[in-house]
Amino acid sequence: MHGLAIKFTQHDSITETNWPRNIDILVMNPPFKAWQLMDSLEQDAVSHIVGASGRPNLAMAFARRALGVLSEGGMLAMIAPNSLLEGDSGKETREAMASSLNAQLVARLGDQSYFAHALVDAGLYVGKRKSAAQAGSAGPAAVLWADSRQNSLNYALRGLRRWRGAEIEPIKGEGFSVYLHKDIATTGDSWVVRGYDAWSSYKHFRQTDKMLPANKVFDIRQGIRLGNDVFVVPKEYVQGMRKSEQRFFRPAVMNPSIVNGKLSPTYYAFYPYTKGLPDITTEEELEGCVPQYYKERLRPAKKALAARKTLAAQPDLKWWDLLRRRTWQVERAAKIVSKYFGGNRAFAFDKSGDFVVVVGHAWLLKKGEVGQEITDDEIYSATLAYLSSAVAYNLMEYLSPQVSGGQLDLSNKYLGELPVPNLANLAPEKLTEFIQAGIRIAEEEKFDRWSDIDEMVLSALSR
């Protein structure tokens, strides 16, 4: 029998010049460290390997070095941060890996308890070094996805073992999927790992002329940045003010403000920039405009507000100003609003335009992009009906990563490419159904016919 020799050596793997060569199997769990958390020496070392563009994670330097030591046909298996798999900062590293390796497995693990000290989501990547004859070619890779529930990853790994050898058909279970994906990890584009149903829905709907990307029709904008929670108060607090003071506050879109497609003015934001209000240029004017709020909330917080770091970089701002007021909210205008992180039915229609988006996003209609002779309110209503459907949620699940608790990031970075109905290509009777459904969702006190919404959307868009 052949013996197995094991040798352990300790090195700084980033700065070490003599990595072993012609490695057949390289398994690594590289350290995850964001660019802004590295010291200057680490940043210089990482920049030397991968460049500083995009503020790369430390793990990306390990991945790049691995490419230079694998033998032909050698295998790389690594734990990978989500920034490597999907983030903008990982694009160049993904391009290098796709050029050198044929991906065998790309996985999103969901439950992060396996990596108790990790500060970012972890995934898996397994790739095989291409031979000279395989340059430019790529075969399908296995995709393993598990949601954030505690047992889902265990089920997924068992499913992966069962799936090997019968790889044509996907395996789906509660909280996990395993399937083949011929286009993943073949370019520097994001290596998006999602559940099979979300992936197959996205693949279908992005190819139909009944859909188009959300950012073709809407500007999806982020809410105001406060810099301190003192700027948000409960509805009851505002109701206790004099009318003259109340006008400096507007209902705020926060995560709790949207429930099942409806807006609730649970919280109010101090927003002294609304069109028609007097300019507040001095502290005396501030006290005169909002005397109760100034005395009870603002003045006690003055030291903390004046010390906000971002404020120092904007000398035109006063200590009581919001850090990012978002000037598009100065005038009241109708808009669709969403939570910042959300699940099913995380959108609502602000018909009056009175709400200011704080922790969330606004969808503002681009003029002339719909191509139908209907009002803006009708476009918003039809879109709300769609966004409240299971079809839309499945597509969001594909595009947007889950954060802790299983919520989705609903920012433009992810949902800009969300397929939404091309209203110009809907049959008139279907368009009317969408509009009426959106109106009912927004206006009925207890709308609960969600299965009807799902059936309507599938009927109109799947054929």
Per mean pLDDT, which range of 26-40, 42-56, 345-359 is the poorest? 42-56
- CB within 8 Å of 28: residues ≥ 6 apart: 62, 66, 76, 77, 78, 79
CA distances (Å), origin 199, targets 126, 143, 295, 394: 20, 11, 54, 8
pLDDT digits (tens, 9 = 90+) for 156-178: 888 888 887 666 788 888 889 99
Per mean pLDDT, which range of 144-148, 368-372, 412-416, 458-462 is the poorest? 368-372
* Cβ-count burial 364-393 (b if 16+ within 10 Å, e if not): bbeeeebeeeeeebbbbbbbbbbbbbbbbb
Is residue 324's pLDDT more than 90?
Answer: yes
425 contacts 223 by C-beta, under 8 angstroms = no
Please provide the average confidence, as pLDDT, over all residues in the chain. 90
Domain assignments of the chain as residue spans, ordered by start:
23-193, 217-461
| pLDDT for the residue numbered 182 | 87
Is residue 462's pLDDT more than 80?
Answer: no
Phi and psi at residue 439, to the nearest 5° = -65, -45
pTM for the model: 0.80
pLDDT digits (tens, 9 = 90+) for 193-247: 888 888 888 888 888 888 999 999 999 999 999 989 999 999 999 999 999 999 9
| pLDDT for the residue numbered 357 | 97
**CA separation for the pair 184, 163 (Å, rounded):** 18
- Closest CA relative to residue 143, chosen from 132, 156, 133: 156
CA distances (Å), origin 52, targets 57, 79, 82, 219, 311: 10, 22, 18, 30, 27
| pLDDT for the residue numbered 202 | 87
- CB within 8 Å of 193: residues ≥ 6 apart: 85, 106, 107, 108, 123, 143, 144, 145, 184
- CB within 8 Å of 255: residues ≥ 6 apart: 339, 340, 341, 342, 359, 360
- Closest CA relative to residue 97, chosen from 165, 225, 188, 230: 188
Task: Determine whether domain 23-193 maps to CATH 3.50.50.60.
Answer: no
Locate tokens 């300019």: which residue?
279
Is residue 418's pLDDT more than 90?
Answer: yes
**CA separation for the pair 358, 228 (Å, rounded):** 12
Q: What is the largest CA-CA distance in the chain?
A: 90
Q: Please, which residues bridge with residue 421 across strands?
A: 211
Tell me how far the alpha carbon of residue 69 is from its chain's centroid: 35
How many CB atoms sit inside 10 A of residue 17's CB?
Answer: 5
| pLDDT for the residue numbered 450 | 95
Is residue 97's pLDDT more than 60?
Answer: yes
Give the containing element (helix H, strand E) for 227. Answer: none
261 contacts 384 by C-beta, under 8 angstroms = yes
| pLDDT for the residue numbered 447 | 92
Q: What is the mean pLDDT of residues 350-369?
A: 93
The string of DSSP letters for 17-57 reads S----SEEEEEE-PPP--GGGS-HHHHHHHHHHH-STT---
Please say whether the dihedral angle defined by the alpha carbons of residues 368, 373, 377 and 380, taken in this order, is positive or negative. Answer: negative
Per mean pLDDT, which range of 29-33, 43-47, 203-207, 294-298 is the poorest? 203-207
Q: Percentage of the chain with pLDDT > 70?
A: 94
Locate tokens 């947007």: which residue?
400
**CA separation for the pair 77, 124 (Å, rounded):** 7
Q: How many helices (H) and strands (E) does the chain have?
A: 18, 21
148 contacts 110 by C-beta, under 8 angstroms = yes
Residue 369's pLDDT band (cuts 50, 70, 90) = confident
Retrieve residue 280's tokens.
Answer: 């507040």
305 contacts 228 by C-beta, under 8 angstroms = yes
